[in-house]
Amino acid sequence: MTKDLSIRGFDEKTHAKLNRVASQKGVSVNAIVKDLVDKWLEKQDQVRKKHDLILYSDDESMSWLLKSIDRFLNDGSWFRTFCGPPSYKSVKLLKKLDWFDSTIHPYSPESKNFGRYTAQIVDRIVKESHNKPVCWFDFVIENISNSSLKEAIHLESQYDENRLPGMTFCNYRLDTLLNAGINDLMDLFSHHDQVFILKDRELVKMHITKEGVQKLLLD
């Protein structure tokens, strides 16, 4: 028995473009959408362990993103969690949205071994998630980078080798990285699956691949 599917945010412009592509390929819009959904469902049979990097311009931009993510993950199938300094606006917002605070309190990672502190956070998430896939926004890592970017990158590399099932988003304000060396930036990027830049209400995905010099001469 077939069912109708309502897709939020699917505006007339997108629908018209999809109709045009479907007509060019000689297939129905339904066939294209069903194929994409089938492929997505097939991927979900595998345990997904995303580790992404978000470089954001300001608190207002991050607030918009967090509210948007919260609306998409409101069915209870995800363990929504965060960690970060209590003074951060993003941390206060996620508390209001009823996400689980996995921060170890009192908050003072600089008074302990950074690795030990972040390991305690991961252990807490594992315990409290009860085997649900996690959606984790980490602001502690940005706070650590203010003291030592190299230490933050080291922790990123350790987590990259032992990820939690689900989606982990490591968040850094762009201005905290402006003085970073190119080697540190490339190292930071290399420990994440995807890199995004967030400004206002725009989320831009960066494509980072190694290329030969001849690529500069090609379209």
pLDDT per residue as tens digits for the range 156-183: 999 999 999 999 999 999 988 888 889 9
* DSSP letter (8 states) at residue 126: H
What is the three-class DSSP state of 95? helix
More confident residue, 8 or 188: 188
Greater confidence (93 vs 16) lies with 93
Spatial contact of 84 and 103, defined as CB atoms under 8 Å apart = yes
Residue 45 has pLDDT above 60, yes or no: no
Q: Rounded to whole angstroms, how far apart are CA atoms 85 and 171? A: 13
Which residues are CB-contacts of 109 (< 8 A; sequence separation ≥ 6)? Answer: 117, 118, 140, 143, 144
pLDDT the model gives residue 209: 82
Q: How confident is the model at residue 109 (pLDDT cuts 50, 70, 90)?
A: confident
Neighbour-count burial for 34-64, b at 16+ CB within 10 Å, e otherwise:
eeeeeeeeeeeeeeebbbebbbbeeeebbbb
Of 33, 49, 139, residue with least CA distance to 94:
139
Cβ atoms 106, 55 nearer than 8 A: no
What pairing do the DSSP bridges indicate for beta strands 100-101 and 134-138?
A: unpaired
d(CA 96, CA 189): 31
